[in-house]
Structures are given as C-alpha cells and as structure tokens.
Amino acid sequence: MVTYGHPVHDDDLVFKALADPIRRILLDALYERSGRTLGDLENVVNLVTEMTRFGVAKHLRLLEAANLVITKKSGREKLHYLNPVPIQQLHRRWIGKYTEQHASALLDLQTELENES
Amino acid sequence: MTTVATTTPRVEPANIQVFRVYINAPAERIWQAISSGELSGKYGYGGTIEADLQAGGDYRHKASAQMLQMGLPAVVVTGQVIESDPPHRLVHMWNPIWNDDPDTRLTWEITTGSNGLSCVTLTHELLGAVATAAEVAGGGDPENGGGGWPWVLSSLKTYLETGDVMPGSGG
C-alpha cells in the first residue's frame, strides 16, 4: 500500500498502529481526555516508560497516518484528538461479524436446551 | 512494561470531539448528503435534513417514520446555519430536542485529494452539553441510538461508496 501524504483509511495501517503498546497507551490517554498537546502526551507515556518527545511524536505520526488521531491548531498549540471512526469500521468489518454469529449460536443453543427441558 | 488491559474510564465526554472519514466520492455528493434531505434517509438514523444554506438560515432535522413511532416529535434537531461554503465548509448549530443541553455546534470540512478521495472532518463543539457529548461519541449499541458520529459517518461512507444502505441505518 502506498500513500502520498494523504492518509487513506486502511485496515493495515490501523492494525499496525494498534499493534504497539505505546500507541495503545496514547489512544487510551486520548480516550480518557481528547484534545491534548504533545508535551502532555509525553508525560503520560513517561509514567510507563522512558521516551523522548521525539519518540512520542513519531508514534503520534503513525496514529495520524492511520486516521486514529487528528491534530488541530488551537492558538499556538497543536492538539491531538482521538478519531474513533476507523475503530468503528474495523469493529464492523472484523469483530462484529464474528461475534454476531457466536452470539446467535449461543442463543440457538439456549433455545434448544430450554425446549428440551 | 505493562499496558492497561481493561477499559480506561473516561473522565468526561470531551467538549470538542473530532471525527474524520475518507470517502471515495466527490465533495458535492457528500455536501448534498449532509445539508439536504435528498440522501439524509440513506445513512445514520435517517430522517430528513432541511437547511437554508446561508448565514442565519434555519437548520432542522425532521424525524424518520421510526423516530415518530418512538414518540419523537416531527423535528428532532434544530439549529441555525452559521457559515455555508459549498461543497467544502458548513458550520451550523445542532440542538437535539431530546436533551436539555446548551447549544452545540458542528463544523463540516470536506476536501478532495487529487486521487478523488474526499476527506470529511466533523468537529462537534459541545461545551456543557454533557448528555449530547456522551451520545455523539458513540461506542454504544447503534440499534438503541448509541452509534454516535462514528457509526453515522461509517454509514455515510458505505452508502456513498456502494449505493447500499448500511444494515440498521437510514429510514
């Protein structure tokens, strides 16, 4: 997959972005409170592991490329927001489909067992 | 190093929420879907959008048949157009009548790349609108109204790209 500066929503990018524990910490931090500065997020990461601001910025760029994070200027600050849309799509495509079948199979089993008694 | 495995509690729903979706459709078509009644029944919770697209113009979202059945009134969201620059930028107030919340504001930004892919960014300003903020953030059961903007935007993408109404959406 090739992107030319224009981040395309893509399952590969989202899965790759989610595959790293630091990036999941960043997403959790933004879920808890969205609209945070790089400095703020650097502090959050450093509660768990030592990492430079440059390292945190690199992780944020990957999250942005996967469309999981959106940055917006607010005065002189750049704020990072969580974008839940790709996760919703991923859930629909990769999780909901399977769990629905699972759930309906359990419901069938329940009906069957109840009818037996 | 350990990571947080369980759900992190949300301190409070954010005052400003930002959503972005890439849609393989021209900006004009996305504009039509978000600002008029022509396609508003094909995605999200359905119903009919009526907007007088000029500063100070009326914005209203009329109930779908299903919403009326649920006992909602004929107009479920009211508001006012602040800024309209078709097909790239629409700013309007968005006040759902079912919540007793302060007014909230939506900014729609639509850009199209050279590859024809459009980027839709929706910014929802919700200062003090706690109930509405929790709802539009999504993450709940879409069938019970918990889909929020992530679900609504996903269904918009599905409809504009495939012509099919996403299961459970529209009306």
Instruction: Please report the DSSP string for chain B in residue order.
Output: -----SPPPPSS--SEEEEEEEESS-HHHHHHHHHSSSSGGGSTT--EEEE--STT-EEEEEPPHHHHHTT--SEEEEEEEEEEETTTEEEEE-EETTS-----EEEEEEEE-TTS-EEEEEEEE-TT-HHHHHHHT--S-GGGT--HHHHHHHHHHHHHHHSPPPTT---
Q: What is the pLDDT of residue A102?
A: 65
pLDDT of A112 strictly over 90? no
CB contact A21 to B (< 8 Å): yes
The residue-averaged pLDDT of A57-62 equals: 98
- To the nearest whole Å, the CA of B135 is away from the closest chain A CA by 13
pLDDT, greater one: A91 or B53: B53
B113:A6 CB<8 A: yes
Q: What is the pLDDT of residue B158?
A: 95
pLDDT of A101 strictly over 70? no
- To the nearest whole Å, the CA of B136 is away from the closest chain A CA by 11
3-state secondary structure of A112: helix
d(CA B80, CA B52) in angstroms, rounded, equals: 9
Contacts of B60 (CB under 8 A, 6+ apart): B49, B50, B51, B75, B77, B78, B79
A84:B137 CB<8 A: yes
pLDDT digits (tens, 9 = 90+) for B118-129: 999 999 999 999
pLDDT digits (tens, 9 = 90+) for A28-49: 999 999 999 999 999 999 999 9
User: How many Cβ atoms sit within 10 Å of the Cβ of residue B9?
Assistant: 8
CB contact A78 to B (< 8 Å): no
3-state secondary structure of A1: coil
pLDDT of B3 strictly over 90? no
Read off the pLDDT band of A7 (50, 70, 90).
very low
pLDDT of B103 strictly over 90? yes
- To the nearest whole Å, the CA of B38 is away from the closest chain A CA by 24
Q: What is the pLDDT of residue B5?
A: 47
Nearest to A88 among B1, B9, B138 (CB): B138
- To the nearest whole Å, the CA of A83 is away from the closest chain B CA by 5
B154:A88 CB<8 A: yes
The residue-averaged pLDDT of B1-5 equals: 48
**Residue B154 with chain A: CB contacts under 8 Å:** 85, 88-89, 92
What is the ipTM metric for this complex?
0.85
The residue-averaged pLDDT of B59-85 equals: 96
d(CA B150, CA B21) in angstroms, rounded, equals: 9
CB contact A71 to B (< 8 Å): no
Nearest to B22 among A8, A35, A70 (CB): A8
pLDDT digits (tens, 9 = 90+) for B31-44: 999 999 999 999 99
